[in-house]
Structure 1
């Protein structure tokens, strides 16, 4: 649906990836993201992401995991996608 660019994870995410459960949750979240399933977002934010697919703006999604909420953000130029905890933004 769209290019992810370079896939990045923050230190906080990286520190938790040795948990098999969390690693699987990250994989599922990224699959959902690439399929334009924006996770736990308000309807206005979902519409903004759907519009961003058409206009080339930044994409942003939120998903619940066993380690807490994560965000996935793809830059407007599609050069990079970052997975992070909200407090790392």
Structure 2
């Protein structure tokens, strides 16, 4: 049986850009958000994983990247990528596409 992990940090207000809402199904967004707050950073490289882990400990901004379409490659940027960013002060978490940054 899989153990449920507790959230690592507060999300604050959760918002989404028009592009993220247009390209991503709400159920998938909720799944990605659950992964984000448990420390599963998705399709980021080893350096970004280390940066995020440090950010959780020290209260900095956290960024995760997930594929919009799971059947297609996702490198953490580009057309098939959904970003989730939680601000350093934990006041807001935003779903957005990389081109909306």
Q: Is TM > 0.5 for Structure 1 vs Structure 2?
A: yes
Tell me, yes or no, if structure 1 residue 86 matches structure 2 residue 98: yes
Q: How far is 1:58 from its partner?
A: 0.3
Structure 2 residue corresponding to 1:14, chosen from 3, 21, 46: 21
CA distance in 1 between partners of 2:67 and 2:21 (Å):
17
2:40 counterpart residue number? 37
Could you say what the CA RMSD is over the residues aligned between the two structures, in angstroms?
1.4
Please state whether the residue corresponding to 2:44 is helix, strand or coil.
coil
For normalisation by structure 1, the TM-score amounts to 0.88
Q: Which structure 1 segments of 5+ residues have no match?
A: none
- Runs of 4+ deviating beyond 3 Å: none
More helix by share: 1
Tell me, yes or no, if structure 1 residue 56 matches structure 2 residue 59: yes
Tell me, yes or no, if structure 1 residue 24 matches structure 2 residue 27: yes
For normalisation by structure 2, the TM-score amounts to 0.78
Please state whether the residue corresponding to 1:54 is helix, strand or coil.
helix
Number of matched pairs? 85
Please state whether the residue corresponding to 2:28 is helix, strand or coil.
helix
Q: Which structure 2 segments of 5+ residues have no match?
A: 1-7, 70-78
CA distance in 1 between partners of 2:43 and 2:22 (Å):
23
